[in-house]
Every structure is written in C-alpha cells, then in structure tokens.
Amino acid sequence: MSGHKITGIHAIGVEVPEDMSLKELMERLLEGGEAELEKELEKELDEETRQPETGKCDCPACDPDKDTVEERLFHPVDQWQHAVDVASDVHDAAGSLEHALFELGENQLAFDASMILSQSLTLLRDIQRKRKEVAE
C-alpha cells in the first residue's frame, strides 16, 4: 500500500460527485470524458473554493502535440495506453479507499472496497491485453 488515502470525494486528480458510482466514473474517464467531468465540477464549485486538479497525465491522448497534423493523429496504441493509465489510477484509488476504510475500522465497507479493487484489477488486465493486441 502506498500510504495515500482518499479523503472526502477527491480521487485520481478530480473531485467526484458523491452520487457518482465507481463504474460510471471509470466509464466517463475511459470515454475521454475527463474534461467534461471537470467542466461540470467547476460549475458546481464556488469561485472562492479550491479548484479541482486537472487529473491529466502527460500521455499523447491527454496532451497531444498540435504542431503538425501527423502529431495530432496519434496512434491507437497511445489511446489504449491512456486507457491503461486511467484504469491504473482507478485501481490505485480503489486500493487507497480500501486501506482508508480498514484504518477507520469499517470492515464491511473495506470489504466492499476490496471487491471494487478486484474488479478494477480485472478491468486493468483486460485493457492491458487489448492494448497489447492493438500494438501487435
């Protein structure tokens, strides 16, 4: 365990609405809805409150170089790598959540989080497998 803990509803670089399920969050992030999610959250935040972090990595899918057409049209492997990175972030967040709940003595909730952790690992492996297929 990395020792990082999720506090409140802040995870993987963006603030998540309390009523949003982990599955919905993963789907929106994997569909490239990260920017859309951030725009919605910025509307909800008061201007005087802390703004959410971007949550973007430095991969070509998040931050393509716009110098030439060729650089804008990045390879599908880059898109799959972005999906792997996002799924990895979700897995890390689920692990942190499980640890935090266990530390709070909430064993049933920690068990529920461990189920999410297991599902996120399965999802991560499936996405990695698909990325490998695309790369070949």
- Residues 106-129 have pLDDT tens digits of 999 999 999 999 999 999 999 999
In the DSSP assignment, the letter for residue 43 is H
Residue 7's pLDDT band (cuts 50, 70, 90): very low
Pairing of strands 14-15, 10-11: antiparallel
Cβ contact 54:13 at 8 Å = yes
In the DSSP assignment, the letter for residue 97 is H
Most distant pair of Cα atoms in the chain: their distance: 54
Domain residue spans of the chain: 10-135
Of 71-80, 86-95, 125-134, least confident by mean pLDDT is 71-80
On whether the pTM is more than 0.75, the answer is no
Cβ contact 119:98 at 8 Å = no
Distance CA 54, CA 35 (A): 8
| Of residues 23, 6, 30, the one with CA closest to residue 87 | 30
The pairs formed by 41-45 with CB atoms below 8 angstroms and a separation of 24 or more are 41/14, 41/15, 41/17, 44/17, 45/15
Q: Is the pLDDT reported for residue 55 higher than 50? A: yes
- What are the start-end ranges of the H helices in 4-75? 22-30, 34-44, 69-72
